[in-house]
Structure 1
Amino acid sequence: MSWQSALACWVLRRRMRPETGKPAIDVARARALTSKRAWLPKVPPGWRLEERYGQADAPLRGEWLVPDKPSATTILYLHGGGYYFCSPATHRGLVFPLARRSGARTFSLDYRLAPETPFPAALDDALAAYRKLVADGTPPESIVIAGDSAGGGLALATLLALRDAGDLLPAGAAVFAPWTDLAATGASMKTNDGRDPMFYGKAFAPAGKLYTGDADVRNPYVSPLYGRFDGLPPLFIQVGDTEVLLDDSTRVAEKARASGVSVDLEIWPKMPHVFQILAPFVPEANQALERAAGFVRRVTMRQAETAEVS
């Protein structure tokens, strides 16, 4: 564990974790706090940022990070934030280095948030964005869907919905500490409750109801843990071993492997939730993103080679 990650955990334990122990969710406060990030990355040299937030930009409403040199790979990124806060801008610290390392043009989706627009709004937006990419000529086999926390769960739910609808699937999905069980039944909700530097386990069930509203919290399109995983493309999952959400990753990995899906599961010791967003300051974040980028390159190249042979 680097001193940088130890410092990050110390700060999170004192500043963010207490917020998750409060009896009620203050949506406005969460949004205000995350909108005041002290640091945002600059656009990497050789890349350009295209912000598309007009009504006419839907369903691709959000941000493109595009390399000056043409790229054959596209990442559709779904940000975390419990489905009720954060945005593409708050997650540039993760999206920019992932795009740069993988060489992929990357679209970060500004999906609709709860409680104003609960389930299935976020899923509908993710499906519409993916289908628009394909309709615009992006080969499905060149796309990787990625996301963190709630966005990671949304990425997996999107795969399930695409498969069930008969759509051509992307090359794979890369997810960081995905929130896959909004019923909060994982044992790590209790066993890691005192170890997780960012969250109390009791924070997740109320947040889940904020998103689901009247929907069944075990609906696979809400909580992909309860879905079928057969027929899905390769999955890449990273999670910290002290997270209360640890079992949300390990149980999905176990079910997916049992269904014949290729899964790369990486459990990082003593890392906080979505530590990848701490790049470039935390060495482990840089290493993790390099490995995730390697997965993106590997699965899209493999799919391209398969398409050429066929």
Structure 2
Amino acid sequence: MSWQSALACWVLRRRMRPETAKPGIDVARARALTSKRAWLPKVPSGWRLEERYGQDDAPLRGEWLLPAQPSGITILYLHGGGYYFCSPATHRGLVFPLARRSGARTFSLDYRLAPEHPFPAALDDTLTAYRKLLADGVPPASIVIAGDSAGGGLALATLLALRDTGDSLPAGAALFAPWTDLAATGASVTTNDGLDPMFYGRAFAPAGKLYTGDADVRNPYVSPLYGRFDGLPPLFIQVGDTEVLLDDSTRVAEKARAAGVNVDLEIWPKMPHVFQMFAPFVPEANRALERAAEFARRVTAPQAVEAL
């Protein structure tokens, strides 16, 4: 564990973790704090940022990060934030280095947020955006869906929905500590409750209800852990071993492997939730993003496509 990671955990434990112990969910406060603290990295040299937030930009409403020399890879990125806060802008610290390392043109989707827009709004937005990419001529075998936390769960739910409707599937999915069980039944919600520097375990069930509204919290399109995994493309999952959401990753990996899915699960010791957000300051974040970029390059490589 690097001193940079230890420092990040120390800050999270003192500033963010107490917020998750408060009763109820203050949506406005969460959005305000995230917006205020958002660190906006510079656009990488040789890349171009296109912000598309106009009404006419839907269904691809969000941000494109475009390389001067395209690699042929497209990443559809879904930001985390419990389905009720954060945005493409707050996640540039993760998206920019992932795009740069993979060489992929990357679209970060500004999907609708709860509670104003509960399930299935976020899923509908993601499905529509993905289908728009295909309609624009982007080969599905060149696309990787990626996301962190709620966005990671949304990415997995998107794969389930695309498979169930017979759509062409992307080359793979990169999931950073995905929130896959909004019912919060994983043992790590309790066993890691005092170890996780960012969250108390009891914060997740209420947050899940905020998104699901009247829907069944175990609906696979809400909580993909409860879905079938047969027929899915390769999955790449990274999670910290002290996270209360650890079991959201390990149980998905176990079920997916049992269904014949190629799964690369990486459990990083003593790393906080979505530690990849701390690039370039935390060495572990840099290494993790390089591993994710390698996955994106591997599953979209011509030989991988020919093997399908």
Alignment TM-score, normalising by the size of structure 2 = 0.99
Q: What's 1:109 paired with?
A: 109
Structure 1: distance between partners of 2:307 and 2:128: 30
Give the alignment of 1:27-176 within 5 angstroms: 27-37=27-37, 39-176=39-176
The 2-side partners of 1:5 and 1:52 are apart by 34
**Aligned equivalent of 2:180:** 180
Between the aligned partners of 1:136 and 1:245, the Cα distance in structure 2 is 36
Distance 1:285 1:215 in 2: 35
Deviates more, 1:239-248 or 1:38-47: 38-47
Counterpart amino acid of residue 134 in structure 1: L
**Amino acid aligned to 1:305:** Q
1:309, distance to aligned residue in structure 2 (A)? 7.5
Distance 1:38 1:170, change over 3 A: closer
Distance 1:140 1:60 in 2: 16
1:127-276 to 2 correspondences below 5 Å? 127-276=127-276
Moved over 6 A (4+): none
Query: What does residue 300 of structure 2 align with?
Result: 300
The Cα shift of 1:127 comes to 0.2
Structure 1, unpaired ranges of 5+ = none
Letter in 2 for 1:212: T
Q: State how far apart, in whole Å, the 2-side matches of 1:116 and 1:201 are.
A: 25
**Aligned-partner Cα distance in 2 for 1:171–1:163:** 13
The residue number in structure 2 matching 1:280 is 280
Counterpart-to-counterpart distance in 1, 2:231 and 2:286: 31
Contact 2:101-2:289 at 8 Å conserved across structures: yes
How many Å apart are 1:133 and its aligned residue?
A: 0.2
SS in 2 for 1:98: helix
Moved more, 33-42 or 151-160: 33-42
Listed as ranges, the gaps of 5+ residues in structure 2 are none
3-state DSSP of counterpart to 1:144: strand
2:66 is paired with a residue of what secondary structure? strand
CA displacement 1:233-270 (0-9 Å, x = unmatched): 00000000000000000000000000000000000000
Q: How big is the shift at 1:36?
A: 1.0
Determine helix, strand or coil for the equivalent of 1:128. helix
SS in 2 for 1:239: strand
Q: Tell me the CA shift for residue 71 of structure 1.
A: 2.6
Equivalenced residue count is 308
Q: Specify the SS of the correspondent of 2:37.
A: coil
Q: Distance in 1 between matches of 2:166 and 2:306?
A: 22
Change (3 A) 1:130 1:203: same
Q: How far off is 1:191 after superposition?
A: 0.1
1:306, distance to aligned residue in structure 2 (A): 5.2
SS at match of 1:32: helix
Paired residue type of 1:231: G
SS at match of 2:36: coil
Asked if the contact 2:80/2:149 (under 8 Å) is kept, the reply is yes
Q: How far does residue 70 in structure 1 lie from its aligned partner after superposition?
A: 2.4
Task: Quote how far apart the aligned CAs of 1:34 are.
Answer: 0.4
Q: C-alpha distance in 1, partners of 2:206/2:298?
A: 38
| Paired amino acid for 1:149 | S
Task: Give the Å deviation of 1:114.
Answer: 0.0
Measure how far apart 1:52 and its partner are. Answer: 0.1
Is contact 2:38-2:90 (8 Å) kept? no
Amino acid at match of 2:66: V
Taking the aligned partners of 1:229 and 1:95, their CA distance within structure 2 comes to 26
The amino acid across from 1:16 in the alignment is: M
Contact 2:119–2:211 (CA under 8 A) maintained in structure 1:
yes
C-alpha contact 2:209 2:217 (8 A) present in aligned 1: yes
Identity in percent:
88
